[in-house]
Copies of this chain bind each other. A is one copy, B any other.
Amino acid sequence: MPPTDLNMTPGDSTRGRILLEAGPIFAEKGFRATTVREICEQAHVNVASINYYFGDKRQLYHQTVVLAREMRVEQVPEPNWDDTTDPQQKLLDFITLILRRLVAMQTEPWQVRLLMREILEPTETCKHLVEEYFRPFFDTLCGIVDDLVGHRLPEPTRNKIGFSIIGQCLYYRFSAEMTRLLIEQQDYVDQYDLDNLAHHIHLFSIGGLKQYQTLENLRPPNSIATKQ
């Protein structure tokens, strides 16, 4: 029976080497388009090794996604807050955390690409990802929103505010390549760095949140007039 390499630094063993070489390739080309032969060539192992260590290609993919999440959490740790931390500061920190960990401006680590693939086209692996990672992440954001609004919002409303904040951030990951076609290349480098973007999204979101601080905006949308 092949070894499982739990709690070991990948890269030392043959199994770990496969994992670390497979990750970037899966991230770049997706599960289907990636060939086991390319992975094995990169890792300098025989084509049979993948089936020997992981059973099949699918289980290897699953393991790379799990590893990607673990590495990303370690690479970009959460900010440490205490009871006195200002909610506005918390929001800015949180936006910065998303941009750093999941958007990764300019650069694009393979771990990020892989996780984005799971958001866009979830496989079985994504359920694991949501429960272990995204849900606690989102709950943290909802807590900050509650503090900033100052009173209890209906859950769907609070969720939508959360999605508005996350959506602004993730735009720069999902639409990055198209955005580069849309605006001046030089502007993109100069004006869309991490701090600049975090500042804008924070400012814009604080404004959006203010709309929900007054109770009058909480009524449901009664007969919105839209054409067609």
With beta carbons under 8 angstroms apart, the residue of B127, B174, B209 that contacts A174 is B174
A–B Cβ pairs within 8 angstroms, 15 of them = A32-B32, A119-B177, A119-B178, A120-B177, A122-B178, A156-B192, A160-B191, A160-B197, A167-B170, A167-B172, A174-B174, A195-B224, A196-B220, A198-B224, A199-B221
- Cβ of A200 to closest chain B Cβ, rounded Å: 5
Specify how many copies of this chain sit in the oligomer.
2
With beta carbons under 8 angstroms apart, the residue of B182, B207, B209 that contacts A135 is B182
DSSP majority for the A interface? helix
Find chain B residues with CB under 8 A from A155 CB. 187
Name the 6 nearest CB pairs between A and B, nearest first. A167-B171, A199-B221, A204-B208, A156-B191, A207-B211, A79-B227
A157 to B199, CA, bound (A): 11
Supposing A79-B228, A170-B174 touch, asked if A156 and B187 sit within 8 A by C-beta, the answer is yes
A9 within 8 A of B: no
Q: Contact: B226 with A92, CB < 8 Å?
A: yes
Q: Contact: A120 with B208, CB < 8 Å?
A: no
Find chain B residues with CB under 8 A from A187 CB. 155-156, 159
Find chain B residues with CB under 8 A from A83 CB. none
Q: Contact: A172 with B163, CB < 8 Å?
A: yes
A191 to B156, CA, bound (A): 6
Find chain B residues with CB under 8 A from A33 CB. 32-33
A185 within 8 A of B: no
Find chain B residues with CB under 8 A from A181 CB. 122, 126-127, 130
Find chain B residues with CB under 8 A from A80 CB. 227
A203 within 8 A of B: yes
Supposing A138-B182, A182-B134, A192-B156 touch, asked if A96 and B204 sit within 8 A by C-beta, the answer is no
